[in-house]
Amino acid sequence: MAFTGQEFVTLTEKTMLYLIIIDKEGNVHYANKRSETLFQLPGDQIIGMSIRDFIIDEEENKFEEIISKCCNLKSPQNYTFRFSPASNTGILTLKFDFILYNDLIYASGIDITEENKEHYSLISLSKLTKTGAWYYNPISEEMFFSKECYNLHDLEPGTPITMEKAISYYRPESRPKIWKFLEDLINKKPTDYTEKIVTEKGTEKWIRVLGEPIIHNDKVVFINGSFADITERYNYLEKVKYNEETKRLALKGIRSGLFDHHFDINATYYSTDFKKMLGLPLDKDFISTDLLKKLIHPDDLDDSIKRHIKGLKKEGHHYFNHYRIKNKKGDYRYYEIYGYRKKDKNNKTTRMIGNLIDVHQRKLNEHTIAENHSRLLAMINNGFAYTVLLNTSGEILMADQDSLKIIKRDFNVDPTTEPTLFIEVMPLNFKTSFFHEFNEALKGHTVKKEIERTTYKGALQWLESKYTPIKDEENNVNSILVSFHDITEQKTAEIARKEAHIKEQELSNLKSNILSNFSHEIRTPLNGIVTISNILLSGEENPEEREKLSAYLDESKERLLATINNLSHFSEIETIQKNLNYVEADMNYTIETSYREYRHFANSKKLKYVLKLDEDCPSALIDEDIFRTAINNIIHNSIKYTDEGKVLVKVKGEKEKIKITIKDSGIGIGKDSLKKIFDPFIQESIGLSRKYEGTGIGLSLSKRYIEILGGKIEVISKLNQGTKFIITIPKNI
Amino acid sequence: MNILYVEDNKINAMVMNRMLSKNASKVMIAENGPTALEMVKKSTLDLILVDINLGLNQMDGCELLKRFKKLDMLENIPIYAVTAYAMPGDAQKFIKIGFDKYFSKPVNFDKLLSAISKVKQKIN
């Protein structure tokens, strides 16, 4: 280069170039006018200063290197340095040519501050945004990576790079996609993609690549592109996407709504799905409280507002409420509202966030359960006398109120609050067979058992215990229902039926007895008559004997007749009953008449025969004929079976009835016979006199007649000591 | 031939005694069970006739039969029921409890006397 120091100086006074001469140490020997802006000093003061003092620290070493290169190699050097002038006017970037001449270095520089600002900021931007630049020449297949591109691949900047090599950093499965990308660009299509690379160091990174084809003569001659590390962003987005998805799924799954209540504007933000469900306007972010109130079930509104006000005043931050809300279809559903309250300094709630949870099904289930429970209880309380539900261990799970009352009263335990074994509190009568029935029920059989017991109040009660096994879906017995059914009425009816049946049988037996007895009573005198007739017919007897036999014959004949007469009386009872002729009769008179009728009979037996009348002369409403027949039979009977002592006939009036007593000191009646004395034909006697032997129908007839008249007849007797008949007859029927 | 006739009805006892005595039998009458039991111990008997209904409160003919059966001395002595109980089934009932023969009242003397003569033949 034809160049002299003087030329350098004179030529450059007016130039925009910075012209500085320095020695090998960097001390300034000359600086042109322009350079004064660099040093911010007048030209004479610059001379002798070290230029190093003006170069920014980090480039000082580079400066040394350049200077020494310049001196040692004796070749011109070109480098850009940044200067920080003494006055703080910012950094100047100067691009210098350094030439060694006469052991001095001639530096000429141009100000590239403005251009470099862009450059440096781009570099820092590239670093900060982790974005590199690249280009590719499809014709020469030249590939270029910017420094940051190398950094992003964990490669040493300047490492030779080709398209194949660049693509090898992608995952094998993605590589075809990248080649396709390149193909698109060559086909003039600007494009971009996001992919994953594995760097030289094995780090996985998500990158975003942009490419732009440069076209010349309708042909792609060059491709510019960027290469950005978006791993963080990608991960963040993925996370956001995932969270969003989770949230959506969660919100779709539950029929709940998120809400955000702002108290300052008295409005609430509801999640979209919830708004959709309730038919709330989707275009409005906030729903006014008044609008929501209209959707709350009228029955729940007042209570829910009360709860709301109270809930907001509560300590802490939580909030709870519940009410029914009308949905789009017009149905009300139950919601529970859980919130978290934000408060201001004055402890006033300003905002509340939470969710509305649809508990409709749960509420319905609860309702059904409660309803079923009360139904079961109603069944238990009304269906049976006593009902107890037991678990498989025999503990009481549930019982009707009556049973509970009894158990509490008698055993002082409450099966509803403490586990109670049924065996320990059950009625004694059932205990003995409980385990048998319970075990049968556990096997799945329904068992019944009838028990007779006395109630708390002493009444007789018949209970039927029924053990019903209750099975679960798998047909296992999980509990046993024990019910005690009061069957007293049925049982009583059954017993009555049985008794009636027995009576009927007795009656039928009685009939055949009557017949048999009649037969006997007729055959006995008939035997006498037949035998006597036989004897008399043979004609062998002397007249005296014949007379005696005739008398016997008469007696037998009379007895036979009496039997037949009484029989007709007896059979006429029904007719008599229909033709009663009631009159008010003086009892003293009536009884005395009968008494008189047998005075002769009693006298003939030398008995003490006594009549005692009532001084008040009581009277009674009677049919005189049958009453007298009844009394006569008894008086006759007493005298007949009394051989010594006395017979007493007595009338005694009482308040509403009259008592007639006929007492004798006769042979008496044995215990066994006493029961049957009023049965027809029973009475017979060992009395010596057979003259008045009856048919055995008399007392039976008396009893029937007295009963027809509304009275009754009793007999007290002791064998060999006598008999007392007491006839009671009402004064009025 | 000695016959014991247990009968509480005096007329019947008397007239029966008459009829049976005609056939050369010696007839003893007992009015009730206890008397009859006394009498069998004192006498040698060939036949006993028992009425069933012996009166209210009294041992009846069936009970008396039971007592007779316990006595060794009566082991081979026939005991006949002579009774006014003559409903269907009565005959079988009395035979069943141990009477050797049954006669209903009024008594058919042809039958009774023919039975007695058979007993007499056996003795002879």
Domain with residue B65: its CATH number is 3.40.50.2300
Residue contacts between A and B (CB atoms, under 8 Å): 88
* A589 lies in the same domain as A691: yes
* Greatest distance between any 2 Cα atoms in chain B: 40
Same domain, A468 and A339: no
Respond yes or no on whether the N-terminal peptide bond of residue A427 is cis (omega within 30° of 0).
no
| DSSP string for A637-670 | HHHHT-SSSEEEEEEEE-SSEEEEEEEE-SS---
Question: What is this structure's pTM?
Answer: 0.37
Helix (H, G, I), strand (E, B) or coil at B21: helix
Q: Clarify whether residues A505 and A601 are in a common domain.
A: no
| Ranges of chain A with pLDDT below 50 | 1-2, 682-695
Q: Measured in whole angstroms, how far is the alpha carbon of residue A708 from the centre of its chain? A: 69
Residue B122: phi and psi, rounded to 5, are -60, -45
Q: Is residue A249 part of a domain?
A: no
Best of B6, B52, B56 to substitute, by most chain A Cβ atoms within 10 angstroms, is: B56
Q: Which residue, A320, A335, A358, sits at the end of a domain?
A: A358
Within a domain: residue A122?
Answer: no
Q: Do B57 and A683 touch (CB under 8 A)?
A: no
Domain count within chain A: 6
Tokens of A732: 């009025």
CB–CB of B65/B50 below 8 Å?
Answer: yes
The kind and range of the H/E element at A712 are strand A712-718
SS3 of A515-584: the string is HHHHHHHHHHHHHHHHHHHHHHHHCCCCHHHHHHHHHHHHHHHHHHHHHHHHHHHHHCHHHHHHCCCEEE
Distance CA A272, CA A289 (A): 17
Please judge whether B87 and A516 are an interchain contact, meaning their C-beta atoms are less than 8 angstroms apart.
Answer: yes
- Give the separation between CA A634 and CA A627, rounded to whole angstroms: 11
Convert the pLDDT of each residue in B32-65 to its tens digit.
999 999 999 998 999 999 999 887 678 889 999 9
- How would you class A334 by CB atoms within 10 Å of its CB: exposed for 0-12, middle for 13-18, buried for 19 or more? buried
How much is the pLDDT for B24?
A: 73
* CA distance to partner chain B, nearest, from residue A461 (Å): 42
Q: How many CB atoms lie within 10 A of CB A157?
A: 11
Final residue before a domain boundary, out of A62, A89, A117: A117
Query: What DSSP letter does each residue of A603-616 carry, written as one string?
Result: HHTT-EEEEE--TT
- A182 contact partners, CB below 8 Å, separation of at least 6: A136, A163, A211
What element of type H or E holds A307?
helix A298-313
Q: What angle do CA A520, A523, A527 make, to 5 degrees?
A: 140
First to last CA, chain A: 173
Query: For A494, what's the count of Cα atoms within 13 Å in the CB-facing half-sphere?
Result: 6
B53 touches chain A (CB under 8 A): yes
Q: Does B36 touch chain A (CB under 8 A)?
A: no
- SS3 label, residue A693: coil
Contact A529 B53 (CB under 8 A): no
Residue A326, CA atoms < 13 Å, CB-side half-sphere: 16
Are the beta carbons of A520 and B19 separated by less than 8 Å?
no
Cα R_g (chain B), whole angstroms: 13
In a domain, A124, yes or no: no
Nearest to A552 among B15, B31, B53 (CB): B15
Q: Quote the number of domains for chain B.
A: 1
Contact (Cβ atoms closer than 8 angstroms) between residue A482 and residue A388: yes
Residues of chain A in contact with residue B83, where contact means CB-CB under 8 angstroms, are: 520
Contacts of A524 in chain B (CB under 8 A): 9, 12, 53, 84, 105
Distance of residue A649 Cα from the nearest chain B Cα, in angstroms: 24
Residues in chain B with CB shorter than 8 Å from the CB of A539 are none
Chain A CB contacts of B87 under 8 Å are 512, 515-516, 519
Quote the CA–CA distance of A121 and A129 in Å, as a whole number.
12
Chain B nearest C-alpha distance from A574 (Å): 26
- State residue A386's pLDDT score: 79
Instruction: Tell me if chain A has a CB within 8 Å of the CB of B89.
Output: no
Is-contact A601 A639, C-beta < 8 A? Answer: yes
A262: helix, strand or coil: strand
The count of C-alpha atoms lying within 13 angstroms of the C-alpha of A22, restricted to the half-sphere facing its C-beta, is 27
Q: What is the per-residue pLDDT across B60-72, written as a single tens digit (0 to 9) for each?
A: 899 999 999 999 8
CA A71 to CA A98: how far, in whole Å?
Answer: 10
Amino acid residing at A612: K
Nearest to A686 among B14, B58, B104 (CB): B58
A686–B55 CB contact, under 8 Å: yes
CB contact under 8 A, B56 and A549: no
Determine whether the interchain pair A524/B86 forms a contact, defined as Cβ–Cβ distance below 8 Å.
Answer: no
- Contact at CB, A673 and B109, closer than 8 angstroms: no
CB-closest option in B12, B18, B86 to A535: B18
Calculate how close chain A gets to B84, using CA atoms only, in Å.
5
The residues, ordered by sequence, that sit 6+ positions from A281 with a Cβ below 8 Å of its Cβ are: A275, A287
Task: Point out the residue among A515, A530, A686 whose CB comes nearest to the CB of B8.
Answer: A686
Answer whether residue A171 is part of any domain.
Answer: yes
Do both A315 and A375 map to the same domain? no
Rg of the Cα atoms in chain A: 69
User: Residue B30 carries which side chain, given as an amino acid letter?
Assistant: A
Contact B112, B15 (CB under 8 A): no
* Shared-domain flag, residues A580 and A721: yes
Q: What is the pLDDT of residues A98-146, one digit of tens each?
A: 888 888 888 888 888 877 777 777 877 888 878 888 888 888 888 888 8
Q: Which residues 60-79 of B are in CB contact (within 8 Å) with A? A: none
Are A523 and B86 inside 8 Å of each other by CB? yes
What confidence score (pLDDT) does residue B77 get? Answer: 93
Say what the pLDDT of residue A685 is: 35
The answer to whether residue A241 is domain-embedded is no
Whole-angstrom Cα distance, residue A100 to residue A620? 177
- Chain A residues touching chain B at CB-CB below 8 Å: 512, 515-516, 519-524, 526-532, 534-535, 540, 549, 552, 555-556, 667, 669-670, 673, 682-686, 690, 719
Q: Which of A649, A656, A635 is nearest to A702 (CA)?
A: A635
Q: Which of B82, B86, B76, B79 is nearest to B100 (CA)?
A: B79
Q: How far apart are CA A590 and CA A729, in angstroms?
A: 13
Q: How far is B88 from chain A (nearest CA, A)?
A: 9
Residue A527's contacts (CB-CB under 8 Å, 6 or more residues apart) are B12, B84, B105, B106, B107
A539: Cβ contacts below 8 Å, ≥ 6 apart: none
What pLDDT digit, counting tens, does each position of A15-51 carry? 778 888 888 888 888 888 888 777 777 777 888 888 8
Instruction: Determine the structural domain holding residue A44 and report its residue range.
Output: 5-117
Dist CA A422 CA B89 (whole Å): 59
* Residue B25 Cα, gap to closest chain A Cα (Å): 16
Q: What is the pLDDT of residue A379?
A: 63
Angle of helix A624-640 relative to helix A698-708, nearest 10 degrees, comes to 150
Nearest CB among A512, A526, A549 relative to B105 is that of A526
- Cβ of B34 under 8 Å from any chain A Cβ? no
Helix, strand, coil share (%) of chain B residues, nearest 5: 45, 20, 35
Nearest neighbour of B15 by CB, restricted to A512, A519, A532 = A532
Q: Which residue of A has its CA nearest to B88?
A: A516
Give yes or no: residues A529 and A578 share one domain.
Answer: no
Within-domain flag for A243: no
Same domain assignment for residues A393 and A302: no
Q: Hey, are the CB atoms on A690 and B9 less than 8 Å from each other?
A: yes
CB nearest B56 (choices: A526, A532, A684): A684
Question: Are A673 and B9 in contact (CB < 8 Å)?
Answer: no
**Yes or no, beta carbons of B15 and A686 under 8 Å apart:** no
User: What tokens appear for A367 in the block?
Assistant: 């309702």
Nearest CA distance, A712 vs chain B (angstrom): 24
Structural domain harbouring B10: 2-123
Helix (H, G, I), strand (E, B) or coil at B56: coil
In a domain, A195, yes or no: yes
pLDDT of residue A11: 59
Residues 6+ apart with CB under 8 A from A682: A517, A673, A676, A696, A700, B56
